[in-house]
Structure 1
Amino acid sequence: MTGIMYGIGVGPGDPELMTLKAVKRIKSVDIIAIPHTDKELCVAYQIARQAVPEIEEKECIYLSMPMTKDKKVLEESHELAAQTVMEYLSKGKDVGFINLGDVSIYSTCSYLLDRLQEEGYTTRLEAGIPSFCAAAARLGIPLVSGAEELHIIPASYQIKEALQMPGVKVLMKAGRQMEAVKEEIRKCKASAVMVENCGMAEEKIYRSLEEIPEDAGYYSLLIVR
């Protein structure tokens, strides 16, 4: 019998937003897969340990998942990570890959799923609360209502055309491109609010485009209308 690979969403930052199922799954798996080379620097691990102290007793494997757009580097790191996970699955060990936010939205663990499934391993996903839902709640505003459309956009890529779409636009992980992002929003004559590090100790809320600093952190999420 081979083990099962679980992708576990730990939510956006506040450990109280972890689901009961995520907590239960972390407790049940044999191995915790950490998308970092150091668990003390892994945001997902720091969230999970606050809700599930038992995670400290688990055996961990460390999967280097570099933040780069270099396709060759990404391909090599993802293949190595998949091979590492498969070594444990083949021994009958269940592996829980902890993932910030939700496991179906621009998730780190998604890069491993296809590889594992192609090799015949069983994979399952445990949903987590997405950052944009948590951010809207922290701002005290509805994300969308009525017939409004909702568009989720990775802000580290070209956003000019995306901002022309009707409805509400969520710009995820906008920090590194903030100066350019703010300029594009101004050109559209749109309004924006932002939560930086939602649910974390360093959380900051900005209620207008003018308030948003151009040196905002990586985990910065804008809601544009």
Structure 2
Amino acid sequence: MTGKLYGLGLGPGDPELITLKAHRILTSAPVIAYPAPDTGPSFARQIAGPFLRADQLEVPMIVPMRVERFPAQDIYDAAAVTLSHHLDVGSDVAVLCEGDPFFYGSFMYLFARLAGRYETEVVPGVSSMMAAAAAYGRPLAARNDVLTVLPGPLDDEALSARIAAADAVAIIKLGRHFSRIRALIASLGLTSAAGYVERVSLSNQRVLPLNAVAEDVAPYFSMILIYKGQEGWAHASHSSQSAAQI
């Protein structure tokens, strides 16, 4: 019998936000795979680190951190071949994913290559978007509000049109696009309705109104939340609990 493939959502970074189900599989699977940059540690591996055992086989999947578009197909092709060797001999394989595996997660590319050949289970995780709203102390959306998630690399025209059509917006993948996006939000008259959260749930988390951010760049793990709906939250200050974490 072949092994079972798991895609484990680990949440936004705090190990305590790993679900009980993900923890059970994480601590029992003999093979643990995770994406890792070509320089520096794997974030997914760091989240899971407190629960890993010395006798588990770790399989890092090296993904170069470059500006050009990824995933590179050959990287996931090679990773699928490597993981299939373990599955073929009957070993379960747990692939670690920060956040949720199917919400901009790299596991979806392995799923496309392997799920048709092996029993596969995807374990959802707490997404950074939900964690950011909790940290900022303002609900994402309610009732009939339309919530839109926008990747920061979209151009200004696309961002403007989608923001205009939404009641609530989460802009992710800010990085080098932060200054441009902040200027766009200002041009739309929405700065006072926008909050900024970076490295949510980690010890170096920052939570503050967008107009209080002094920097012109943001880390990859950062997000802007905008509320334009009817619930009266748009200009609400973030919570005192969040303010203490700035």
Distance 1:84 1:69 in 2: 26
Residue of structure 2 equivalent to 1:223 = 225
Determine which of 79, 82, 86 is the counterpart of 2:80.
82
2:145 is equivalent to residue 143 of structure 1: no
Distance 1:202 1:71 in 2: 28
- SS of 1:41's partner is coil
- SS of 1:114's partner is helix
Structure 1 position 56, deviation (Å): 4.2
Distance 2:19 2:115 in 1: 25
Residue of structure 2 equivalent to 1:201 = 203
Q: Which amino acid aligns with 2:106?
A: T
Identity across aligned pairs (percent)?
A: 29
- Structure 1 segments unaligned to the other structure (5+ residues): none
Deviations along 1:65-103, one digit per CA (max 9) or x if unpaired, are 234464687111111111111111111111101100111
Residue 192 of structure 1 contacts residue 222 of structure 1 at CA under 8 Å; is this kept in 2? Answer: yes
- SS of 2:121's partner is strand
Residue of structure 2 equivalent to 1:99 = 97
Residue of structure 1 equivalent to 2:127 = 130
Residue of structure 2 equivalent to 1:10 = 10
Distance 1:212 1:132 in 2: 22
- Distance change in 2, residues 1:181/1:57 (3 Å): farther
Q: Which has the larger radius of gyration?
A: 2
Distance 1:37 1:210 in 2: 31
Structure 1 position 176, deviation (Å): 2.2
Residue of structure 2 equivalent to 1:116 = 114
Deviations along 1:146-195, one digit per CA (max 9) or x if unpaired, are 21111112212333332222211101121221011112211221131011
Structure 1 position 59, deviation (Å): 0.8
Distance 1:115 1:74 in 2: 14
Distance 1:29 1:198 in 2: 28
RMSD (CA atoms): 2.1
Normalized against structure 2, the TM-score is what? Answer: 0.83
Structure 1 position 205, deviation (Å): 0.9
Normalized against structure 1, the TM-score is what? Answer: 0.90
Distance 1:6 1:114 in 2: 13
Residue of structure 2 equivalent to 1:30 = 30
